[in-house]
Structure 1
Amino acid sequence: MAEGLTIGQAAAFVGITVKTVRHYHRLGLVAEPERDRSGYRRYGSADLLRLVQVRALAGAGVPLAEIGELLDAEPERFATALEDVHRRLTEQIEELTTRRDTLHRLAHGDRALLPDRACAVLDRLVELGFSPDYVTTQREALVLSRALAPEVFQPFLDNLEHRLGDPEFVALIKRGWEARSWDPDDPRIEELASAMATNLLTGRALLTLPAKRPHGPDAASRYGVVNHHREDEAPSVARLNGLIEGHLRAAGIDIPRQ
Protein backbone atom coordinates (compact mmCIF):
# COMPACT_ATOMS: atom_id res chain seq x y z
CA MET A 1 0.00 0.00 0.00
CA ALA A 2 3.06 2.25 0.39
CA GLU A 3 3.14 2.98 -3.33
CA GLY A 4 -0.64 3.38 -3.55
CA LEU A 5 -3.23 1.72 -5.73
CA THR A 6 -3.89 1.95 -9.42
CA ILE A 7 -7.22 3.38 -10.52
CA GLY A 8 -8.46 -0.13 -11.30
CA GLN A 9 -7.54 -1.35 -7.84
CA ALA A 10 -9.06 1.70 -6.15
CA ALA A 11 -12.32 1.24 -8.07
CA ALA A 12 -12.44 -2.46 -7.19
CA PHE A 13 -11.75 -1.78 -3.50
CA VAL A 14 -14.53 0.81 -3.29
CA GLY A 15 -17.00 -1.24 -5.36
CA ILE A 16 -17.41 1.06 -8.36
CA THR A 17 -16.12 1.08 -11.92
CA VAL A 18 -13.07 2.85 -13.31
CA LYS A 19 -15.46 4.85 -15.50
CA THR A 20 -17.27 6.05 -12.37
CA VAL A 21 -14.01 7.08 -10.69
CA ARG A 22 -13.07 9.13 -13.74
CA HIS A 23 -16.56 10.66 -13.77
CA TYR A 24 -16.07 11.74 -10.16
CA HIS A 25 -12.76 13.31 -11.17
CA ARG A 26 -14.38 15.25 -14.02
CA LEU A 27 -17.03 16.61 -11.65
CA GLY A 28 -14.40 17.63 -9.14
CA LEU A 29 -15.80 15.38 -6.44
CA VAL A 30 -12.53 13.52 -5.98
CA ALA A 31 -9.18 15.11 -6.72
CA GLU A 32 -6.95 13.23 -9.12
CA PRO A 33 -3.86 11.96 -7.31
CA GLU A 34 -0.39 12.88 -8.53
CA ARG A 35 1.37 10.58 -10.96
CA ASP A 36 4.26 8.44 -9.76
CA ARG A 37 7.62 8.13 -11.50
CA SER A 38 6.14 5.63 -13.93
CA GLY A 39 3.43 8.08 -14.97
CA TYR A 40 0.59 6.28 -13.18
CA ARG A 41 -1.78 7.88 -10.73
CA ARG A 42 -1.65 6.18 -7.38
CA TYR A 43 -4.51 6.27 -4.91
CA GLY A 44 -3.83 6.47 -1.19
CA SER A 45 -6.09 5.85 1.77
CA ALA A 46 -7.35 9.47 1.79
CA ASP A 47 -8.35 9.12 -1.86
CA LEU A 48 -10.20 5.88 -1.13
CA LEU A 49 -11.96 7.49 1.82
CA ARG A 50 -13.21 10.28 -0.43
CA LEU A 51 -14.35 7.78 -3.04
CA VAL A 52 -16.23 5.80 -0.40
CA GLN A 53 -17.92 8.97 0.86
CA VAL A 54 -18.97 10.06 -2.61
CA ARG A 55 -20.25 6.58 -3.48
CA ALA A 56 -22.25 6.39 -0.24
CA LEU A 57 -23.91 9.77 -0.73
CA ALA A 58 -24.65 9.09 -4.38
CA GLY A 59 -26.13 5.72 -3.46
CA ALA A 60 -28.32 7.43 -0.85
CA GLY A 61 -29.84 9.62 -3.53
CA VAL A 62 -27.84 12.82 -3.09
CA PRO A 63 -27.45 14.51 -6.51
CA LEU A 64 -23.83 14.44 -7.68
CA ALA A 65 -23.93 18.21 -8.15
CA GLU A 66 -24.47 18.62 -4.40
CA ILE A 67 -22.02 16.06 -3.05
CA GLY A 68 -18.84 18.11 -3.31
CA GLU A 69 -20.23 21.06 -1.36
CA LEU A 70 -21.81 18.68 1.13
CA LEU A 71 -18.59 16.82 1.91
CA ASP A 72 -16.73 20.08 2.41
CA ALA A 73 -19.45 21.58 4.63
CA GLU A 74 -19.44 22.07 8.38
CA PRO A 75 -21.07 19.28 10.46
CA GLU A 76 -24.25 21.31 11.06
CA ARG A 77 -24.68 22.09 7.35
CA PHE A 78 -23.96 18.44 6.54
CA ALA A 79 -26.66 17.24 8.95
CA THR A 80 -29.22 19.71 7.55
CA ALA A 81 -28.45 18.64 4.01
CA LEU A 82 -28.89 14.99 4.92
CA GLU A 83 -32.29 15.76 6.44
CA ASP A 84 -33.29 17.38 3.15
CA VAL A 85 -32.13 14.32 1.24
CA HIS A 86 -34.11 12.12 3.63
CA ARG A 87 -37.24 14.19 2.97
CA ARG A 88 -36.81 13.97 -0.80
CA LEU A 89 -36.20 10.23 -0.67
CA THR A 90 -39.33 9.76 1.44
CA GLU A 91 -41.35 11.66 -1.17
CA GLN A 92 -39.86 9.51 -3.93
CA ILE A 93 -40.69 6.35 -2.01
CA GLU A 94 -44.29 7.49 -1.56
CA GLU A 95 -44.55 8.31 -5.27
CA LEU A 96 -43.08 4.94 -6.26
CA THR A 97 -45.42 3.17 -3.86
CA THR A 98 -48.37 4.95 -5.47
CA ARG A 99 -47.13 3.93 -8.92
CA ARG A 100 -46.73 0.33 -7.78
CA ASP A 101 -50.25 0.27 -6.37
CA THR A 102 -51.56 1.76 -9.60
CA LEU A 103 -49.84 -0.96 -11.63
CA HIS A 104 -51.36 -3.57 -9.34
CA ARG A 105 -54.83 -2.11 -9.87
CA LEU A 106 -54.26 -1.88 -13.63
CA ALA A 107 -53.63 -5.61 -13.62
CA HIS A 108 -57.30 -5.89 -12.67
CA GLY A 109 -58.70 -3.94 -15.61
CA ASP A 110 -59.70 -0.31 -15.22
CA ARG A 111 -59.70 -0.44 -11.42
CA ALA A 112 -56.85 2.04 -11.26
CA LEU A 113 -59.34 4.58 -12.61
CA LEU A 114 -61.96 3.91 -9.94
CA PRO A 115 -62.16 4.47 -6.17
CA ASP A 116 -62.39 1.53 -3.79
CA ARG A 117 -66.12 2.07 -3.33
CA ALA A 118 -66.78 1.55 -7.03
CA CYS A 119 -64.56 -1.53 -7.05
CA ALA A 120 -66.60 -2.92 -4.17
CA VAL A 121 -69.76 -2.51 -6.25
CA LEU A 122 -68.12 -4.41 -9.11
CA ASP A 123 -67.12 -7.18 -6.71
CA ARG A 124 -70.73 -7.32 -5.53
CA LEU A 125 -71.89 -7.84 -9.11
CA VAL A 126 -69.58 -10.84 -9.37
CA GLU A 127 -70.92 -12.24 -6.10
CA LEU A 128 -74.48 -11.90 -7.39
CA GLY A 129 -73.64 -14.04 -10.41
CA PHE A 130 -73.56 -11.40 -13.14
CA SER A 131 -71.60 -12.48 -16.21
CA PRO A 132 -68.03 -11.25 -16.72
CA ASP A 133 -69.16 -9.32 -19.82
CA TYR A 134 -71.82 -7.47 -17.83
CA VAL A 135 -69.35 -6.62 -15.04
CA THR A 136 -66.88 -5.35 -17.63
CA THR A 137 -69.55 -3.14 -19.22
CA GLN A 138 -70.52 -1.71 -15.83
CA ARG A 139 -66.90 -1.06 -14.98
CA GLU A 140 -66.45 0.82 -18.24
CA ALA A 141 -69.61 2.82 -17.58
CA LEU A 142 -68.33 3.77 -14.13
CA VAL A 143 -65.01 4.89 -15.60
CA LEU A 144 -66.83 6.97 -18.22
CA SER A 145 -69.17 8.44 -15.64
CA ARG A 146 -66.33 9.51 -13.37
CA ALA A 147 -64.43 11.08 -16.25
CA LEU A 148 -67.23 12.65 -18.31
CA ALA A 149 -69.96 13.39 -15.78
CA PRO A 150 -68.31 13.43 -12.32
CA GLU A 151 -71.29 15.25 -10.78
CA VAL A 152 -73.46 12.14 -11.29
CA PHE A 153 -70.78 9.58 -10.40
CA GLN A 154 -71.63 9.41 -6.69
CA PRO A 155 -75.40 9.28 -7.32
CA PHE A 156 -74.71 6.52 -9.84
CA LEU A 157 -72.86 4.54 -7.15
CA ASP A 158 -75.56 5.27 -4.55
CA ASN A 159 -78.17 3.93 -6.94
CA LEU A 160 -76.25 0.74 -7.70
CA GLU A 161 -75.35 0.03 -4.07
CA HIS A 162 -78.95 0.38 -2.97
CA ARG A 163 -80.56 -1.56 -5.80
CA LEU A 164 -78.17 -4.51 -5.68
CA GLY A 165 -79.84 -5.38 -2.39
CA ASP A 166 -83.15 -5.82 -4.24
CA PRO A 167 -83.52 -9.38 -5.63
CA GLU A 168 -86.22 -8.24 -8.07
CA PHE A 169 -83.94 -5.55 -9.53
CA VAL A 170 -81.05 -8.02 -9.83
CA ALA A 171 -83.28 -10.51 -11.65
CA LEU A 172 -84.59 -7.82 -14.02
CA ILE A 173 -81.09 -6.58 -14.85
CA LYS A 174 -79.95 -10.12 -15.60
CA ARG A 175 -83.01 -10.51 -17.82
CA GLY A 176 -82.11 -7.24 -19.54
CA TRP A 177 -78.63 -8.55 -20.25
CA GLU A 178 -80.14 -11.68 -21.78
CA ALA A 179 -82.16 -9.40 -24.06
CA ARG A 180 -78.99 -8.64 -25.97
CA SER A 181 -79.68 -11.75 -28.03
CA TRP A 182 -83.33 -10.86 -28.71
CA ASP A 183 -84.71 -9.33 -31.86
CA PRO A 184 -85.25 -5.56 -31.40
CA ASP A 185 -88.94 -6.04 -32.21
CA ASP A 186 -89.43 -8.84 -29.69
CA PRO A 187 -92.60 -7.99 -27.67
CA ARG A 188 -90.86 -9.16 -24.51
CA ILE A 189 -88.73 -6.00 -24.66
CA GLU A 190 -91.73 -3.76 -24.00
CA GLU A 191 -92.83 -5.94 -21.09
CA LEU A 192 -89.35 -5.95 -19.61
CA ALA A 193 -88.96 -2.19 -20.03
CA SER A 194 -92.24 -1.60 -18.17
CA ALA A 195 -91.22 -3.92 -15.35
CA MET A 196 -87.78 -2.33 -15.02
CA ALA A 197 -89.18 1.19 -15.00
CA THR A 198 -91.71 0.24 -12.34
CA ASN A 199 -88.95 -1.23 -10.20
CA LEU A 200 -86.72 1.81 -10.64
CA LEU A 201 -89.53 4.14 -9.63
CA THR A 202 -89.83 2.39 -6.26
CA GLY A 203 -86.57 4.18 -5.47
CA ARG A 204 -87.53 7.43 -7.12
CA ALA A 205 -85.24 9.57 -4.96
CA LEU A 206 -82.22 7.64 -6.26
CA LEU A 207 -83.10 8.67 -9.82
CA THR A 208 -82.92 12.39 -9.08
CA LEU A 209 -79.90 14.04 -10.70
CA PRO A 210 -77.94 16.68 -8.73
CA ALA A 211 -79.44 20.17 -8.97
CA LYS A 212 -76.02 21.70 -9.51
CA ARG A 213 -74.87 20.10 -12.71
CA PRO A 214 -73.93 21.30 -16.20
CA HIS A 215 -76.77 21.81 -18.65
CA GLY A 216 -76.93 22.13 -22.40
CA PRO A 217 -76.15 19.90 -25.39
CA ASP A 218 -72.65 19.09 -24.19
CA ALA A 219 -73.87 17.89 -20.79
CA ALA A 220 -76.62 15.81 -22.40
CA SER A 221 -74.10 14.24 -24.75
CA ARG A 222 -71.83 13.36 -21.84
CA TYR A 223 -74.68 11.66 -19.99
CA GLY A 224 -75.71 9.91 -23.17
CA VAL A 225 -72.27 8.42 -23.67
CA VAL A 226 -72.46 6.91 -20.19
CA ASN A 227 -76.11 5.87 -20.19
CA HIS A 228 -75.97 4.27 -23.63
CA HIS A 229 -72.50 2.72 -23.44
CA ARG A 230 -72.17 -0.27 -25.81
CA GLU A 231 -75.76 -0.02 -27.03
CA ASP A 232 -74.45 0.01 -30.58
CA GLU A 233 -73.45 -3.62 -30.09
CA ALA A 234 -76.99 -4.72 -29.22
CA PRO A 235 -79.96 -2.99 -30.94
CA SER A 236 -82.39 -4.81 -28.65
CA VAL A 237 -80.73 -3.30 -25.58
CA ALA A 238 -80.81 0.15 -27.22
CA ARG A 239 -84.56 -0.22 -27.68
CA LEU A 240 -85.00 -1.55 -24.14
CA ASN A 241 -83.12 1.39 -22.62
CA GLY A 242 -85.01 3.85 -24.80
CA LEU A 243 -88.33 2.46 -23.62
CA ILE A 244 -87.23 2.55 -19.98
CA GLU A 245 -86.17 6.19 -20.31
CA GLY A 246 -89.52 6.96 -21.92
CA HIS A 247 -91.40 5.45 -18.97
CA LEU A 248 -89.24 7.36 -16.50
CA ARG A 249 -89.68 10.69 -18.30
CA ALA A 250 -93.44 10.09 -18.37
CA ALA A 251 -93.25 9.65 -14.61
CA GLY A 252 -91.51 13.02 -14.25
CA ILE A 253 -87.91 11.85 -13.95
CA ASP A 254 -85.44 14.33 -15.46
CA ILE A 255 -83.28 12.39 -17.92
CA PRO A 256 -81.12 14.49 -20.26
CA ARG A 257 -81.94 14.12 -23.94
CA GLN A 258 -79.13 13.90 -26.47
Structure 2
Amino acid sequence: MMSGVTIGQAAAFVGVTVKTVRHYHKLGLVEEPERDGSGYRRYGSDELLRLVQVRTLATAGVPLAEIGALLDADPGQFTAALADVERRLTERIADLTARRDTLHRLADGDRALLPDRACAILDRMAGLGLGPDYVAAQREALVLARALVPEGFDGFLTQLEHGLDDPGYIELIRRGREAETWEPDDPRIDELATAMADHFLAHPTLLGNPTSLQAWTKASAQYRLINNHRGDQAPISARLTALTEAKLRSAGVTVPRR
Protein backbone atom coordinates (compact mmCIF):
# COMPACT_ATOMS: atom_id res chain seq x y z
CA MET A 1 0.00 0.00 0.00
CA MET A 2 1.30 3.48 -0.93
CA SER A 3 2.12 5.71 2.04
CA GLY A 4 1.37 9.44 1.82
CA VAL A 5 -0.27 11.59 -0.82
CA THR A 6 0.84 13.31 -4.01
CA ILE A 7 1.83 16.96 -4.15
CA GLY A 8 -1.53 17.82 -5.73
CA GLN A 9 -3.41 16.12 -2.94
CA ALA A 10 -1.20 17.70 -0.29
CA ALA A 11 -1.79 21.16 -1.76
CA ALA A 12 -5.55 20.56 -1.86
CA PHE A 13 -5.64 19.27 1.72
CA VAL A 14 -3.70 22.28 3.02
CA GLY A 15 -5.55 24.84 0.91
CA VAL A 16 -2.76 26.14 -1.33
CA THR A 17 -1.69 25.58 -4.91
CA VAL A 18 0.90 23.13 -6.15
CA LYS A 19 2.94 26.14 -7.27
CA THR A 20 2.88 27.46 -3.70
CA VAL A 21 4.05 24.13 -2.28
CA ARG A 22 6.95 24.10 -4.73
CA HIS A 23 7.77 27.68 -3.75
CA TYR A 24 7.89 26.61 -0.08
CA HIS A 25 10.30 23.85 -1.10
CA LYS A 26 12.48 26.31 -3.02
CA LEU A 27 12.69 28.59 0.04
CA GLY A 28 13.56 25.67 2.29
CA LEU A 29 10.43 26.08 4.40
CA VAL A 30 9.25 22.52 3.78
CA GLU A 31 11.56 19.66 2.88
CA GLU A 32 10.72 17.72 -0.25
CA PRO A 33 9.84 14.11 0.56
CA GLU A 34 11.82 11.32 -1.06
CA ARG A 35 10.42 9.70 -4.17
CA ASP A 36 8.81 6.31 -3.76
CA GLY A 37 9.40 3.26 -5.95
CA SER A 38 7.06 4.66 -8.57
CA GLY A 39 9.08 7.88 -8.82
CA TYR A 40 6.47 10.03 -7.05
CA ARG A 41 7.07 12.21 -4.02
CA ARG A 42 4.68 11.20 -1.28
CA TYR A 43 3.71 13.66 1.44
CA GLY A 44 3.20 12.17 4.86
CA SER A 45 1.77 13.65 8.04
CA ASP A 46 5.03 15.43 8.95
CA GLU A 47 5.17 17.28 5.64
CA LEU A 48 1.48 18.10 5.80
CA LEU A 49 1.86 19.49 9.33
CA ARG A 50 4.77 21.68 8.20
CA LEU A 51 2.76 22.88 5.18
CA VAL A 52 -0.15 23.81 7.44
CA GLN A 53 2.17 25.70 9.80
CA VAL A 54 3.83 27.62 6.96
CA ARG A 55 0.52 28.46 5.30
CA THR A 56 -1.00 29.61 8.60
CA LEU A 57 1.89 31.94 9.40
CA ALA A 58 2.01 33.29 5.85
CA THR A 59 -1.74 33.96 5.92
CA ALA A 60 -1.29 35.77 9.25
CA GLY A 61 1.13 38.14 7.57
CA VAL A 62 4.48 36.71 8.58
CA PRO A 63 6.99 37.27 5.73
CA LEU A 64 8.05 34.00 4.12
CA ALA A 65 11.70 34.90 4.72
CA GLU A 66 11.04 34.80 8.49
CA ILE A 67 8.84 31.71 8.73
CA GLY A 68 11.63 29.12 8.73
CA ALA A 69 13.46 30.64 11.68
CA LEU A 70 10.16 31.18 13.46
CA LEU A 71 9.12 27.54 13.20
CA ASP A 72 12.53 26.37 14.34
CA ALA A 73 12.63 28.74 17.33
CA ASP A 74 12.04 27.77 20.95
CA PRO A 75 8.69 28.76 22.54
CA GLY A 76 10.04 32.02 24.02
CA GLN A 77 11.57 33.15 20.76
CA PHE A 78 8.43 32.11 18.89
CA THR A 79 6.23 34.26 21.15
CA ALA A 80 8.55 37.27 20.87
CA ALA A 81 8.73 36.91 17.10
CA LEU A 82 4.96 36.75 16.81
CA ALA A 83 4.65 39.90 18.94
CA ASP A 84 7.03 41.69 16.55
CA VAL A 85 5.00 40.52 13.55
CA GLU A 86 1.83 41.73 15.26
CA ARG A 87 3.41 45.15 15.83
CA ARG A 88 4.37 45.45 12.17
CA LEU A 89 0.92 44.34 11.06
CA THR A 90 -0.66 46.94 13.32
CA GLU A 91 1.52 49.61 11.69
CA ARG A 92 0.50 48.38 8.25
CA ILE A 93 -3.16 48.43 9.25
CA ALA A 94 -2.80 52.04 10.45
CA ASP A 95 -1.10 52.98 7.17
CA LEU A 96 -3.74 51.24 5.06
CA THR A 97 -6.52 52.84 7.13
CA ALA A 98 -4.98 56.27 6.52
CA ARG A 99 -4.81 55.54 2.78
CA ARG A 100 -8.43 54.42 2.77
CA ASP A 101 -9.46 57.58 4.60
CA THR A 102 -7.60 59.65 2.00
CA LEU A 103 -9.53 57.89 -0.77
CA HIS A 104 -12.77 58.68 1.03
CA ARG A 105 -11.69 62.30 1.34
CA LEU A 106 -10.91 62.41 -2.39
CA ALA A 107 -14.59 61.88 -3.02
CA ASP A 108 -15.23 64.98 -0.93
CA GLY A 109 -13.06 67.38 -2.95
CA ASP A 110 -11.06 69.77 -0.77
CA ARG A 111 -10.88 67.35 2.15
CA ALA A 112 -8.35 65.19 0.33
CA LEU A 113 -5.78 67.99 0.43
CA LEU A 114 -6.83 70.16 3.35
CA PRO A 115 -7.80 69.57 7.00
CA ASP A 116 -11.36 70.12 8.16
CA ARG A 117 -10.49 73.47 9.69
CA ALA A 118 -9.31 74.84 6.33
CA CYS A 119 -12.37 73.42 4.56
CA ALA A 120 -14.60 75.16 7.10
CA ILE A 121 -12.90 78.46 6.27
CA LEU A 122 -13.53 77.93 2.55
CA ASP A 123 -17.18 77.13 3.30
CA ARG A 124 -17.46 80.36 5.29
CA MET A 125 -15.98 82.36 2.40
CA ALA A 126 -18.54 80.90 0.04
CA GLY A 127 -21.30 81.60 2.56
CA LEU A 128 -20.22 85.23 2.79
CA GLY A 129 -20.69 85.56 -0.95
CA LEU A 130 -17.05 86.17 -1.82
CA GLY A 131 -17.52 84.41 -5.14
CA PRO A 132 -16.37 81.06 -6.57
CA ASP A 133 -13.25 82.49 -8.24
CA TYR A 134 -12.05 84.04 -4.98
CA VAL A 135 -12.77 80.87 -3.00
CA ALA A 136 -11.00 78.75 -5.65
CA ALA A 137 -7.92 80.99 -5.48
CA GLN A 138 -7.92 80.81 -1.67
CA ARG A 139 -8.28 77.02 -1.84
CA GLU A 140 -5.22 76.74 -4.06
CA ALA A 141 -3.29 79.13 -1.82
CA LEU A 142 -4.15 77.01 1.22
CA VAL A 143 -3.01 73.82 -0.49
CA LEU A 144 0.29 75.47 -1.45
CA ALA A 145 0.74 76.98 2.02
CA ARG A 146 0.19 73.67 3.75
CA ALA A 147 2.73 71.93 1.51
CA LEU A 148 5.37 74.69 1.30
CA VAL A 149 5.19 76.35 4.73
CA PRO A 150 3.67 73.75 7.08
CA GLU A 151 5.06 75.44 10.20
CA GLY A 152 3.14 78.62 9.35
CA PHE A 153 -0.07 76.95 8.17
CA ASP A 154 -2.03 76.98 11.43
CA GLY A 155 -1.17 80.63 11.96
CA PHE A 156 -2.35 81.38 8.43
CA LEU A 157 -5.67 79.69 9.18
CA THR A 158 -6.02 81.74 12.35
CA GLN A 159 -5.45 84.95 10.32
CA LEU A 160 -8.16 83.94 7.89
CA GLU A 161 -10.57 83.09 10.71
CA HIS A 162 -10.01 86.52 12.30
CA GLY A 163 -10.59 88.13 8.91
CA LEU A 164 -13.87 86.33 8.34
CA ASP A 165 -15.04 87.48 11.79
CA ASP A 166 -14.33 91.10 10.81
CA PRO A 167 -17.08 92.79 8.73
CA GLY A 168 -14.72 95.65 7.84
CA TYR A 169 -12.17 93.23 6.43
CA ILE A 170 -14.83 91.39 4.44
CA GLU A 171 -15.95 94.69 2.93
CA LEU A 172 -12.37 95.50 1.91
CA ILE A 173 -12.09 92.07 0.27
CA ARG A 174 -15.28 92.75 -1.67
CA ARG A 175 -13.91 96.11 -2.81
CA GLY A 176 -10.73 94.36 -3.85
CA ARG A 177 -12.77 92.02 -6.00
CA GLU A 178 -14.53 94.95 -7.59
CA ALA A 179 -11.15 96.57 -8.30
CA GLU A 180 -10.46 93.93 -10.96
CA THR A 181 -12.80 95.90 -13.23
CA TRP A 182 -10.86 99.17 -12.75
CA GLU A 183 -8.22 100.57 -15.07
CA PRO A 184 -4.61 99.84 -13.99
CA ASP A 185 -3.94 103.55 -13.31
CA ASP A 186 -7.16 104.15 -11.39
CA PRO A 187 -6.24 106.22 -8.28
CA ARG A 188 -8.77 104.23 -6.24
CA ILE A 189 -6.31 101.30 -6.23
CA ASP A 190 -3.83 103.23 -4.10
CA GLU A 191 -6.64 104.54 -1.91
CA LEU A 192 -7.91 101.00 -1.34
CA ALA A 193 -4.38 99.78 -0.52
CA THR A 194 -4.10 102.53 2.08
CA ALA A 195 -7.47 101.57 3.57
CA MET A 196 -6.37 97.93 3.74
CA ALA A 197 -3.04 98.75 5.37
CA ASP A 198 -4.77 101.02 7.90
CA HIS A 199 -7.26 98.28 8.71
CA PHE A 200 -4.48 95.74 9.28
CA LEU A 201 -2.63 98.17 11.54
CA ALA A 202 -5.79 98.84 13.52
CA HIS A 203 -6.47 95.10 13.85
CA PRO A 204 -3.07 93.41 14.39
CA THR A 205 -4.59 89.92 14.70
CA LEU A 206 -5.16 90.06 10.95
CA LEU A 207 -1.39 90.17 10.47
CA GLY A 208 -0.78 86.89 12.27
CA ASN A 209 0.98 85.97 15.48
CA PRO A 210 4.78 86.42 15.84
CA THR A 211 5.48 82.70 15.39
CA SER A 212 3.51 82.53 12.17
CA LEU A 213 5.06 85.76 10.85
CA GLN A 214 8.54 84.43 11.59
CA ALA A 215 7.79 81.19 9.73
CA TRP A 216 6.60 83.08 6.67
CA THR A 217 9.51 85.52 6.79
CA LYS A 218 11.98 82.62 6.79
CA ALA A 219 10.15 81.09 3.83
CA SER A 220 10.29 84.14 1.59
CA ALA A 221 10.76 82.11 -1.62
CA GLN A 222 7.71 79.98 -0.81
CA TYR A 223 5.78 83.11 0.14
CA ARG A 224 6.48 84.61 -3.27
CA LEU A 225 5.23 81.49 -5.02
CA ILE A 226 2.02 81.43 -3.01
CA ASN A 227 1.41 85.18 -3.07
CA ASN A 228 1.97 85.44 -6.82
CA HIS A 229 -0.23 82.46 -7.59
CA ARG A 230 -2.92 83.48 -10.10
CA GLY A 231 -1.37 86.92 -10.30
CA ASP A 232 -1.67 86.89 -14.07
CA GLN A 233 -5.40 86.16 -13.78
CA ALA A 234 -6.05 88.96 -11.29
CA PRO A 235 -3.43 91.67 -11.99
CA ILE A 236 -5.24 94.42 -10.09
CA SER A 237 -5.52 92.24 -6.99
CA ALA A 238 -1.83 91.40 -7.26
CA ARG A 239 -0.94 95.09 -7.49
CA LEU A 240 -3.28 95.92 -4.63
CA THR A 241 -1.58 93.30 -2.45
CA ALA A 242 1.88 94.61 -3.34
CA LEU A 243 0.89 98.21 -2.53
CA THR A 244 -0.70 97.15 0.77
CA GLU A 245 2.41 95.22 1.79
CA ALA A 246 4.65 98.16 0.89
CA LYS A 247 2.57 100.46 3.10
CA LEU A 248 2.73 97.95 5.97
CA ARG A 249 6.51 97.74 5.67
CA SER A 250 6.69 101.53 5.77
CA ALA A 251 4.73 101.35 9.03
CA GLY A 252 7.30 98.92 10.48
CA VAL A 253 5.42 95.65 9.95
CA THR A 254 7.56 92.68 8.96
CA VAL A 255 6.14 91.35 5.70
CA PRO A 256 8.03 88.87 3.49
CA ARG A 257 9.27 90.24 0.18
CA ARG A 258 7.27 89.21 -2.88
- With normalisation by structure 1, the TM-score equals 0.82
Correspondence 1:193 to 2:187? no
Deviation at 1:28, TM superposition (A): 1.6
Indicate the residue corresponding to 2:4 in structure 1. Answer: 4
Give yes or no for contact 2:245–2:255 (8 Å, CA) kept in 1: yes
* Further displaced range: 17-26 or 203-212: 203-212
Letter in 2 for 1:213: Q
Correspondence 1:127 to 2:119? no
Give yes or no for contact 1:190–1:243 (8 Å, CA) kept in 2: yes
Residues in 2 aligned to 1:22 and 1:236: alpha-carbon distance in whole angstroms: 72
CA offset digits 1:88-126 (Å, max 9, x no partner): 111111122223334444555565554443333233323
Indicate the residue corresponding to 2:100 in structure 1. Answer: 100
Deviation at 1:206, TM superposition (A): 3.5
Residues in 1 aligned to 2:110 and 2:166: alpha-carbon distance in whole angstroms: 26
Residues in 1 aligned to 2:185 and 2:226: alpha-carbon distance in whole angstroms: 24
Give yes or no for contact 1:34–1:42 (8 Å, CA) kept in 2: yes
Deviation at 1:163, TM superposition (A): 1.3
Letter in 1 for 2:214: R
60 and 201 in structure 1: CA distance in 2 versus 1, 3 angstrom threshold: same
* Further displaced range: 26-35 or 118-127: 118-127
Correspondence 1:174 to 2:174? yes
Deviation at 1:60, TM superposition (A): 1.0
What pairs with 1:3-152 in structure 2 (closer than 5 Å)? 3-108=3-108, 111-112=111-112, 114-150=114-150, 152=152
Counterpart of 1:233 in 2: which secondary structure?
Answer: coil
Deviation at 1:257, TM superposition (A): 3.2
Counterpart of 1:37 in 2: which secondary structure?
Answer: coil
Indicate the residue corresponding to 1:204 in structure 2. Answer: 204
Give yes or no for contact 1:151–1:210 (8 Å, CA) kept in 2: no
* Further displaced range: 170-179 or 205-214: 205-214
130 and 11 in structure 1: CA distance in 2 versus 1, 3 angstrom threshold: farther
Indicate the residue corresponding to 2:214 in structure 1. Answer: 213
Indicate the residue corresponding to 1:244 in structure 2. Answer: 244
15 and 114 in structure 1: CA distance in 2 versus 1, 3 angstrom threshold: same
Deviation at 1:2, TM superposition (A): 6.0
Indicate the residue corresponding to 2:163 in structure 1. Answer: 163
Deviation at 1:19, TM superposition (A): 0.8
- With normalisation by structure 2, the TM-score equals 0.82
Determine what percentage of the aligned residue pairs are the same residue: 65
Residues in 1 aligned to 2:131 and 2:37: alpha-carbon distance in whole angstroms: 82
Give yes or no for contact 2:149–2:216 (8 Å, CA) kept in 1: no
Give yes or no for contact 1:71–1:78 (8 Å, CA) kept in 2: yes
149 and 64 in structure 1: CA distance in 2 versus 1, 3 angstrom threshold: closer
Unaligned runs of 5+ in 2: none
CA RMSD of aligned residues (A): 3.1
Give yes or no for contact 1:152–1:209 (8 Å, CA) kept in 2: no
Letter in 2 for 1:98: A
Size of the aligned set, in residue pairs, is 257
255 and 59 in structure 1: CA distance in 2 versus 1, 3 angstrom threshold: same
Residues in 2 aligned to 1:73 and 1:5: alpha-carbon distance in whole angstroms: 28
* Further displaced range: 166-175 or 20-29: 166-175
Give yes or no for contact 1:155–1:206 (8 Å, CA) kept in 2: no
